[in-house]
Amino acid sequence: MNLRDIHIPVMLERCVELLGPALVREGAVYVDGTLGMGGHAEAFLDRFPGIRLVGLDRDPAALRIAGERLQAHADRIALVHTVYDGIADALRTAGVDRADAILYDLGVSSLQLDEAERGFAYARDAPLDMRMDPTQGVTAAEIVATYSEGELRRIFERYGEEKLAGRYARAIIAARQQSPIERSGRLVEVLQQATPAALSHAGHPAKRVFQALRIEVNGELSALERAIPAALSTLAVGGRLVVLSYQSLEDRFVKRLFAEASASTAPAGLPMELPEHAPRFRLLVKGAEVAGDEEAARNPRAKPVRLRAIERVRESE
């Protein structure tokens, strides 16, 4: 298996362009908060021979594969098994005080999508698992088997933005009373049967439901809401954070948290801003950037990406 063929890092050159200025000094610390198969990390280690890498991932398989891929840089890397909101503890584990550059490449990884038995992909029949860390937590099958109709509807609406959330929740409740829904193929069948004929060609009926289940299984949005402030708090002055989001819910979270971090804390009505109220961070890009047409054509997983970036400009008081 050649990882460089099957795993193409998304928006790599733009990430290097944005994070590079924070990594020029000897001993600078680059944190890959969602290491995956190590594509971004390898590029940074190759291009910045003076940096140290702290790589985080909740998936033990990803850490093993990335460790093998990055073996040539073994003396400069520390890999930590944790969710990305555990960045502060991970840095302490690696013996590091502050980060100079951080990358969060959110969502499900190529490794997880490509291993059918993990149950992330609705296009292939597999056990309904969806855990990014298969060593702990509840599975999607357990959620489908135990959540009430109201709970299923809530997660389909909130995490999948699914207009047929109520209809799909009722269909799942009815179907599981007949037989357990333990495989992705069975769930897809239930959803297809519950989809009105008029909407049968408006995208795959399982896409948003599977997204919602994955987010619920892995607590992705709650982890993200903790992870952004945690990452910002670890940045040294001049340090930068880049976040790649793949769905609107994630991007809205990042947009809001970046806006809060880059805003003045001066009370309304003050005639002038005091130094202690000046923003601690500044936005590096206007709005969210997307992958270019050429990259999106070459790498389909880049099509939905939204990139946001921020830099620490002063210490907290």
> What's the pLDDT at 115?
59
Does the annotation list 211 as a binding residue? no
Does the annotation list 204 as a binding residue? no
Three-class SS of residue 303?
Answer: coil
- C-alpha closest to that of 100 among 37, 44, 175: 44
Distance CA 305, CA 278 (A): 31
User: CATH number of the domain at 118-218, out of 2.60.40.1180, 1.10.490.10, 1.10.150.170, 3.40.50.11740?
Assistant: 1.10.150.170
Distance CA 168, CA 165 (A): 5
pTM for the whole structure: 0.88
Instruction: Answer yes or no: are the C-beta atoms of 294 and 244 closer than 8 Å.
Output: no
| Alpha carbon separation from 53 to 79, 142, 305 (Å, rounded) | 8, 36, 24
Q: What percent of the chain has pLDDT over 70?
A: 89
Q: What is the mean pLDDT of the chain?
A: 90
- C-alpha closest to that of 117 among 180, 182, 56: 182
Does the annotation list 114 as a binding residue? no
Does the annotation list 112 as a binding residue? yes
Does the annotation list 40 as a binding residue? yes
Helix (H) / strand (E) element for 230: namely: helix 220-234
Which pLDDT tens digit goes with each residue over 129-178? 999 888 888 999 999 999 999 999 999 999 999 999 999 999 999 999 99
In the chain, where are the structural domains located? 3-105+220-312, 118-218
Which pLDDT tens digit goes with each residue over 200-258? 676 788 889 999 999 999 999 999 999 999 999 999 999 999 999 998 989 999 999 99
77-81, strands of its sheet edge to edge = 77-81, 52-57, 29-32, 99-105, 235-245, 306-312, 281-283
CATH superfamily of the 3-105+220-312 domain: Vaccinia Virus protein VP39 (3.40.50.150)
CATH fold match for the domains 3-105+220-312 and 118-218 = no
Does the annotation list 20 as a binding residue? no
Does the annotation list 136 as a binding residue? no
